Chains A and B, each alone.
Chain A
Amino acid sequence: QQPVQSPQAVILREGEDAVINCSSSKALYSVHWYRQKHGEAPVFLMILLKGGEQKGHEKISASFNEKKQQSSLYLTASQLSYSGTYFCGTELNENRDDKIIFGKGTRLHILP
């Protein structure tokens, strides 16, 4: 049930774009995205709900393809501060408990 993230790691130069994918073998109700910097706790970025629109703020956005059970996170014109590990989390049902299953993460390293 654990979603699969790809790529496992990516190295970019500042200003380049990145796409991180998250796919599930099961139908999804929602997809969450989190970023974790080294030595810090994960930070919630956004949630995409079934039937919802593409979301984003500034240069980080995400899409959710319900039919393909996939989500993608787009980082445009990456900044040094974007470095970290990105996790997707998937929710199968619309339950009150907000229980999600996390992928193993994608390590993103931005070079100056």
Chain B
Amino acid sequence: DVKVTQSSRYLVKRTGEKVFLECVQDMDHENMFWYRQDPGLGLRLIYFSYDVKMKEKGDIPEGYSVSREKKERFSLILESASTNQTSMYLCASSPGFGQYFGPGTRLTVT
């Protein structure tokens, strides 16, 4: 079975803090994604990567950056957290047909 893990299930940070969300997949997938999920808005793509050190902006990249130094690991960085970044963050990986999601990190910025 594909396994996608995320570093934290719940996270509380203060406004202005730098936040790192880690995602690791164990199936050698080339493609990895970061989404945020908010009620009524569905899943919105923040960034994705189709290869090591490659990254592409999704639909809502503002306020976020990413890093992919190794194939299995894709990190999402909030340079200076703001309250409007309070959300559920989901990581996914894909072999090219279908995406496999991690359990999510519920981030609260106070």
Contact = CB atoms under 8 A, between A and B. Distances in A.
Interface stretch (B13-21, B39-47, B61-69): B39-47
Nearest to A8: B40
A105 B94 CA distance: 21
Given A41-B90, A96-B50, A104-B41, A47 B102 contact: no
B104 A87 contact: no
Contacts of A104: 40-42
Contacts of B101: 41-43
B97 to A, nearest CB: 6
The interface size bin for chain A is 20 to 34
A40 to B, nearest CB: 7
A105 B98 contact: no
Interface in B60-100: 90, 94, 96-100
Interface residues of B, number: 26
Looking at A34, A44, A87, which has the most chain B CB atoms within 10 Å of its CB? A44
B28 interface: no
A110 interface: no
Nearest to B59: A101
Interface of A: 2, 32, 34, 40-44, 46-47, 87, 89, 96-105
Interface of B: 30-31, 33, 35, 40-45, 48, 50, 56, 58-59, 90, 94, 96-104
